[in-house]
Amino acid sequence: MEGFSVNCHLTKMAWMGSRAGGKRRLPAGEGRVTERRSAKGRTVPLAGGDGGRYGTMPVTRSMVMALSVAAVAPAWPGAARAETDYCRLPDQSDTSEANPIDSASSLDWIHPLPPPAGREPTAAERLDFAGFPNVAVLDVVGRRGAPRQKVITTYTTNVDEVVTLTNAAAVSGDGGRTFGPARRTPLREAPIELLDGRLFATEYYLQRTGPHTARLGVLTTRSPEDGESWVRSEATLSTPGELLPGGAAHGVPVQLADGTILITVYARYADTGTYQAEVYASRDGGRTFERRGVIARPSGEFVYNEAAVEQTLDGSLLAVLRRDGGPFSTLHQSRSLDGGRTWSPVADLRFAGQDCVVRGVAPRLLLTPGGVLVLSAGRPDNWLAVSLDGLGDAWEWPQVTYHNRDGIWDTHGSSGYTGIAALGPHTLIQVFDNCKLPGTRPDGRLNETACPAHGRFENGGWYAVKRRLFTIAGPGPGLLDLAAMRRSGKLRVETDMRWTGRPRSRPAAAFDGSTGYWSSAVATGRGHYVLHFDRPHAFTRIGLSLRPGHAADARVYVSKDGRTWGDPVVTITGRTDHALRYTEFSATGRHVKIVTEPTSGCDAEIGRRCSMLNEIELYS
Residue after which a domain boundary falls, among 444, 472, 500: 472
Do 278 and 243 contact (CB within 8 A), yes or no?
Answer: no
DSSP secondary structure letter of residue 511: G
Residue after which a domain boundary falls, among 472, 490, 520: 472
Please give the pLDDT value at position 48.
29
| Helix ranges, 466-525 (H) | 482-488
- Considering the domain boundaries, does residue 594 fall inside one? yes
- Considering the domain boundaries, does residue 397 fall inside one? yes
285 and 231 part of one domain:
yes
421 and 536 part of one domain:
no
Give the confidence band of 67 by pLDDT, cuts at 50, 70, 90. Answer: very low
445 and 488 part of one domain:
no
Residue numbers of the domain that contains 89: 2-472
Burial of 472 by CB count in 10 Å (0-12 exposed, 13-18 middle, 19+ buried)? buried
Please give the pLDDT value at position 70.
32
Give the confidence band of 163 by pLDDT, cuts at 50, 70, 90. Answer: low
466 and 559 part of one domain:
no
498 and 463 part of one domain:
no
468 and 486 part of one domain:
no
- Considering the domain boundaries, does residue 118 fall inside one? yes
pLDDT in tens, 102-135: 887 789 999 999 999 999 999 999 999 999 999 9
- Considering the domain boundaries, does residue 206 fall inside one? yes
The CATH code of the domain that includes 127 is: 2.120.10.10
230 and 138 part of one domain:
yes
Give the confidence band of 162 by pLDDT, cuts at 50, 70, 90. Answer: low
- Considering the domain boundaries, does residue 506 fall inside one? yes
pLDDT in tens, 337-382: 999 999 999 999 999 999 999 999 999 999 999 999 999 999 999 9
pLDDT in tens, 178-206: 999 999 999 988 899 999 999 999 999 99
397 and 455 part of one domain:
yes
What does each C-alpha distance from 532 to 469, 478, 499, 589 come to in angstroms? Answer: 33, 18, 21, 10
Question: Is the model more confident about 311 or about 50?
Answer: 311
Q: What is the mean pLDDT of residues 522-551?
A: 98
What is the spatial distance between Cα 336 and Cα 316, in angstroms, rounded to a whole number? 6
- Considering the domain boundaries, does residue 248 fall inside one? yes
| Residues whose CB is less than 8 angstroms from the CB of residue 426 and which lie 6 or more positions away in sequence, other chains included | 368, 370, 372, 471, 472, 473, 474
296 and 367 part of one domain:
yes
Q: Structurally, how many domains does the chain consist of?
A: 2
Q: Which amino acid is it at 83?
A: E
521 and 455 part of one domain:
no
- Considering the domain boundaries, does residue 232 fall inside one? yes
452 and 494 part of one domain:
no
For the residues of 214-266, what is the DSSP string, one character each?
EEEEEEEES-GGGTT-PEEEEEEEE-SS-B-S--EE-S--EE-TTS-EEEEEE
Q: Which amino acid is it at 531?
A: L
Residue after which a domain boundary falls, among 472, 500, 529: 472
334 and 467 part of one domain:
yes
- Considering the domain boundaries, does residue 477 fall inside one? no
Which of 31-40, 368-377, 394-403, 600-609 shows the lowest mean pLDDT across its residues? 31-40
Q: Which secondary-structure segment (H or E) carries 15? A: helix 9-19
The CATH code of the domain that includes 519 is: 2.60.120.260
Calculate the CA 563 to chain-centre distance. Answer: 45
Residue 4 pLDDT > 70, yes or no? no
pLDDT in tens, 404-425: 989 888 889 999 999 999 999 9
Question: Is the model more confident about 99 or about 384?
Answer: 384
